[in-house]
């Protein structure tokens, strides 16, 4: 007979929550069953006699669980058989399922476009529990490879051969992490380029700064800003431009003062008209 545990030692362990009979009873039972068995092992009560373990079960399962137990058609010996009692609870909470439907849900599960891989993995592992596959790990591996939204990694895994479940999980996780890191880097580079272009560009203004064809210098596109305005060209004897930018070739002219300071149609000014050509030819 197993030695009894003192109350002080027993209080060191968390007692499982009562069985919740509302909502998803099947899922609630799996949670309770796992927590209860962990509690038995942690406290050392798993070595107790069957009758005591059944009593501990009924003590923590709650009133709704006791009502379910009382409806079991069991003999006295069967009521004191711990494994038998646990099996009865499982059959009650997890009625026979449509395996074909469960496998349909499993086979058609695909990773959504924006779904994280770990979310997809968790759901696949949940769905496989109801499919009654003999080799669950292989089934999960196949669904992860065939259902992933990462077609590049999918192709590599298939080409490389029969990878096990852990290898497939690692490859798909690393591929997702790599894509996330690459997206962060690319996003940073794009932002830097936009900032750089903006910082190096000149603001667009109505009065743009251009190189003037009359003085050869850069200034705003305003007549009054041109230093050559009113100046006489020493090359052609015309006004309003410098000799350094003069376009006359082999020509000597007499300027008509009445035509000085005329402006062309685009808002710029030009030299006075040539009244008389003394010699030379215009090309």
The Cα–Cα gap between 109 and 144 comes to: 9
Q: What are phi and psi of 276, to 5 degrees?
A: -150, 130
Question: Do 117 and 152 fall into the same domain?
Answer: yes
Averaged pLDDT, groups of 10, the chain, 283 residues long? 50 84 86 93 91 94 94 90 93 81 94 94 92 93 96 94 94 94 78 58 55 82 80 84 77 44 43 42 43
CA of residue 62 relative to chain centroid, distance = 44
Which of 93, 121, 142 is at the close of a domain?
A: 93
Residue 104: both structure tokens together:
């349909």
Taken in order 201, 202, 208, 211, the sign of the CA dihedral is negative
Among candidate residues 245, 234, 251, 249, the one with its CA nearest the CA of residue 270 = 245
Taken in order 44, 50, 53, 55, the sign of the CA dihedral is negative
Question: Do 82 and 121 fall into the same domain?
Answer: no
Q: Is residue 215 part of a domain?
A: no
Q: Is residue 199 part of a domain?
A: no
Q: Is residue 211 part of a domain?
A: no
Question: Do 104 and 80 fall into the same domain?
Answer: no
Question: Do 121 and 160 fall into the same domain?
Answer: yes
What's residue 147's pLDDT?
96
Site of tokens 């006699």:
49
Residue 168, Cβ neighbours under 10 Å: how many? 21
The Cα–Cα gap between 118 and 120 comes to: 5
Q: Is 23 helix (H, G, I), strand (E, B) or coil?
A: coil
- Please list the alpha-helical segments (H only) found in 44-150: 50-61, 63-70, 76-79, 82-93, 99-107, 117-128, 136-147
Residue 272, Cβ neighbours under 10 Å: how many? 20
Q: Is residue 192 part of a domain?
A: no
Among candidate residues 250, 254, 234, the one with its CA nearest the CA of residue 283 = 250
Domain count, the chain: 3
The Cα–Cα gap between 89 and 94 comes to: 8
Domain of residue 153, CATH code: 1.10.1200
The pTM of this model reads 0.43
Question: Do 117 and 89 fall into the same domain?
Answer: no
What's residue 194's pLDDT?
57
Which of 184, 209, 235 is at the close of a domain?
A: 184
Question: Do 66 and 124 fall into the same domain?
Answer: no
Q: 282: domain range? A: 221-283
């Amino acid at each position: 007979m197993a030695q009894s545990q003192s109350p002080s030692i027993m209080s060191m362990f968390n007692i499982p929550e009562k069985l919740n009979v509302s909502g998803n009873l099947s899922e609630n039972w799996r949670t309770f069953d796992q927590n209860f068995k962990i509690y038995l092992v942690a406290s050392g009560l798993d070595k107790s006699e069957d009758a005591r373990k059944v009593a501990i079960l009924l003590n923590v399962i709650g009133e709704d669980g006791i009502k379910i137990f009382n409806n079991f058609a069991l003999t006295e010996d069967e009521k004191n058989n711990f494994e038998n009692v646990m099996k009865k609870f499982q059959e009650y909470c997890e009625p026979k399922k449509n395996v074909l439907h469960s496998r349909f849900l499993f086979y058609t599960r695909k990773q959504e476009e924006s779904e994280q891989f770990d979310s997809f993995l968790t759901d696949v592992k949940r769905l496989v529990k109801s499919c009654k596959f003999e080799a669950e790990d292989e089934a999960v591996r196949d669904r992860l490879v065939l259902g992933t939204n990462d077609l590049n990694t999918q192709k590599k895994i298939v080409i490389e051969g029969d990878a096990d479940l852990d290898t497939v999980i690692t490859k798909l996780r690393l591929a997702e992490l790599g894509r996330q890191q690459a997206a962060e880097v690319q996003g940073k580079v794009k932002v830097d380029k936009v900032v750089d272009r903006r910082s190096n560009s000149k603001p667009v203004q109505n009065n743009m700064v251009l190189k003037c064809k009359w003085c050869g210098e850069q200034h705003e596109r305003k007549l009054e800003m041109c230093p050559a305005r009113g100046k006489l060209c020493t090359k052609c004897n015309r006004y309003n431009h410098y000799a350094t930018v003069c376009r006359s070739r082999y020509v000597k002219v007499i300027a008509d003062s009445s035509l000085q300071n005329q402006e062309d149609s685009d808002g710029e000014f030009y030299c006075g008209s040539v009244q008389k050509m003394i010699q030379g030819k215009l090309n």
